[in-house]
Amino acid sequence: MSYLEHEDHKTHRVGWLRAAVMGANDGIVSTASLIIGVAAAGSSQDAIIVAGVAGLVAGALSMAAGEYVSVSSQADTELADLKIEAVALEAYPEQEKAQLAEIYENRGLTPELAKMVADQLMQHNALDAHARDEIGISVNVNAQPLQAALTSALTFTVGAALPLLLAWFAPLDTLIYWVGFFCIALLAIMGAIAAYAGGASLFKGAFRVGFWGALAMALTAVVGQVFEVTV
């Protein structure tokens, strides 16, 4: 085992975790804010719960749709790019090799070595070499829009469940504090976990997520208050 294997790089595993944490975060923040806003307007517990459930369903569906569109259009773009590249490789193999060599030269290789690297990589897999080093994508486009959509909807729902359960069981007169306190605490814990997984500072991660969540809830509480006074 070389010493390099002891280096624990985090970048490769932040992707899926980031998506899951973002879904749950959105679920907590948007549902908690909605519940707090409606509660601050002096609504009944039934009305608060209806608003919370409607917010959960709307949010989960909109997350799923957004993720589906974004992942599938990204995959379409990458596939189109790969097709263009494959045609170019077929039609202008020498120019393509020179182009790849130039990329390696710009990264610091000598012209001779750059040509050798381009030559060998293209013999191994020309499309893969160009996709990776020229376009910056992978040949194995394995984007799964449906899976991404389901993951977002599911993680959003899991996140939204906490404020909704609190709205269900907490006494009406202190409901805002229950929802606010536990949701901000959970956001901070999740922020810390995400920061830990990404190798970043725990406190920074917790504070960042907790702060924006608290701000969203405070703002909707103000909106609810305004409505209670004026309506």
Per CB under 5 A, does 130 bind Zn ion? Answer: yes
# chain residues binding Zn ion, by CB under 5 A: 3
Nearer to Zn ion, 67 or 85 (CB): 85
Q: Quick one: tokens of 27?
A: 């679920």
Looking only at residues 154 through 183 of this chain, which bind Zn ion when binding is defined by CB under 5 A? Answer: none
Q: How many Å apart are CA 156 and CA 55, to the nearest integer?
A: 11
Q: What are residue 30's phi and psi, to 5 degrees?
A: -70, -40
128 binds Zn ion (CB under 5 A): no
Q: Which amino acid is at 114?
A: A
**Shortest distance, position 104 Cβ to Zn ion, whole Å:** 13
> Rule CB under 5 A: is residue 102 a binding residue for Zn ion?
no
For Zn ion, give the closer residue by CB, 19 or 98.
98
As measured in angstroms, the least distance from the Cβ of 135 to Zn ion is 8
CB 187 within 8 A of CB 29: yes
Contact 197, 14 (CB under 8 A): yes
Instruction: Among 96, 164, 184, 224, indicate the residue that binds Zn ion (CB under 5 A).
Output: 96
Give the nearer residue to Zn ion in terms of CB position, either 118 or 217. Answer: 118
- CB under 8 Å to 88, separation ≥6 — which residues? 96
Q: From the CA atom positions of the chain, what is the Rg in Å?
A: 25
Q: Measured between alpha carbons, how far is 219 from 38 in angstroms, rounded to an integer?
A: 12
Q: Which stretch binds Zn ion (CB under 5 A): 130-138, 147-155, 183-191, 223-231?
A: 130-138
Contact stretch for Zn ion (CB under 5 A) within 75-83, 132-140, 166-174, 196-204: 132-140
Interface residue list for Zn ion (CB under 5 A): 96, 130, 134
